[in-house]
Amino acid sequence: MNETMNRLMSHRSIRKFTEKPVNRETLEDILRAAQMASSSSNMQAYSVINITDPQKRRQLAHIASDQSYVTESPVFLVWCADLQRLAASCGFDAGSGYVGTTENLVAALVDAALAAQNAVVAAESLGLGAVYIGAIRNHIHAVAELLELPELVMPVFGMCLGYPDQEPILRPRLPLAAVLHENRYDADKITDLVGEYDLTTERYMVERSGGKSKANWTDSMKKKLSAPIRMDIARFIGSRGFWRNEEKDMNPGERQ
């Protein structure tokens, strides 16, 4: 494998960083690389907020289940799906045109994710490490208020960046056959492949926790999916200008 493949195959989330700062030039280079990610119809429907205010860092860390690395990392970014810039540039508000539709929101979410992953790969190529912080969605209304987000902008995840001060073991992924299908979705093969993966992840957790945990992937996913989490996301989306023009062209029988 070449250098790029080796780097991608060795990705690990980094949650402990040295005190070495990330200079502005390096950060901007990383974000320029992020901007070169593919974008749906070139909408570039995302924005990035660099959080340098220590008080806002502390508030975001608290929202994100008090994850200490949100305040300790040299750089903390909030990645947002952003249709506001498009709306303003085209002279639309949330109620005109077809800006805040589900389709455009999905495109904006994908744009943000693709750009962010470009940023992580770029950062790792420069010797930095990163971890995504989905927990900023724990209290999404509070994040939007704290960051003064306008309508049609949704905070999607945070990202800690810095120089690694740890070398965690690689987290194993599902067997390729569990995610790769040929010509149709093959549900029949999933049980055996997930069973194989459960054995792998159990060994991983034993090593990672020093024998304190043997939770496999199915155990972890069952726990995650057995309790409600972030149930206000749909309400947030509906209250921020998204979906406002979704019903314009619906047939009467489709409307609820």
**Residue 190: predicted pLDDT:** 96
My answer on whether 34 and 158 are in the same domain is yes
User: What is the Rg, in whole angstroms, of the alpha carbon atoms belonging to the chain?
Assistant: 20
For residues 206 and 215, what is the distance between their CA atoms, to the nearest angstrom?
8
Residues whose CB is less than 8 angstroms from the CB of residue 161 and which lie 6 or more positions away in sequence, other chains included: 22, 27, 30, 73, 74, 75, 76, 77, 123, 128, 129, 130
Q: What is the DSSP letter of 227?
A: S
**The residue type at 22:** V
pLDDT tens sequence across 112-154 = 999 999 999 999 999 999 999 999 999 999 999 999 999 999 9
**Residue 255: predicted pLDDT:** 46
- The whole-model pTM stands at 0.93
Mean pLDDT of 59-82: 98
pLDDT tens sequence across 168-186 = 999 999 999 999 999 999 9
**Are 10 and 170 spatial neighbours (Cβ–Cβ below 8 Å)?**
yes
For residues 173 and 192, what is the distance between their CA atoms, to the nearest angstrom?
15
My answer on whether 114 and 194 are in the same domain is no
Work out the percent of the chain whose per-residue pLDDT is above 90.
91
My answer on whether 217 and 241 are in the same domain is no
Structural domain including 214 reads 176-224
My answer on whether 117 and 243 are in the same domain is yes
**pLDDT tops 90 at residue 62:** yes
Centre a 10 Å sphere on the Cβ of residue 143 and count the other Cβ atoms it contains.
Answer: 24
Distances 147 to 62, 85, 187 between C-alpha atoms, Å:
15, 16, 43
My answer on whether 137 and 33 are in the same domain is yes
pLDDT tens sequence across 187-197 = 999 999 999 99
Mean pLDDT of 57-64: 98
Mean pLDDT of 161-173: 97
Nearest of 247, 183, 173 to residue 204 by alpha carbon: 173
My answer on whether 43 and 73 are in the same domain is yes
My answer on whether 28 and 85 are in the same domain is yes
Overall domain count for the chain = 2
Q: Look over the chain and give the mean of its residue pLDDT values, rounded to a whole number.
A: 94
**pLDDT tops 90 at residue 234:** yes
Which tokens hold the place of 12?
């690990």
Q: What angle do CA 58, 64, 70 make, to 5 degrees?
A: 50
My answer on whether 215 and 242 are in the same domain is no
My answer on whether 50 and 66 are in the same domain is yes
Q: Report the CATH number at residue 27.
A: 3.40.109.10
My answer on whether 149 and 47 are in the same domain is yes
For residues 176 and 135, what is the distance between their CA atoms, to the nearest angstrom?
28
Question: b/e map of 45-66 (b: 16 or more CB within 10 Å)?
Answer: bbbbbebeeeebbebbbebbee
My answer on whether 51 and 131 are in the same domain is yes
My answer on whether 184 and 91 are in the same domain is no
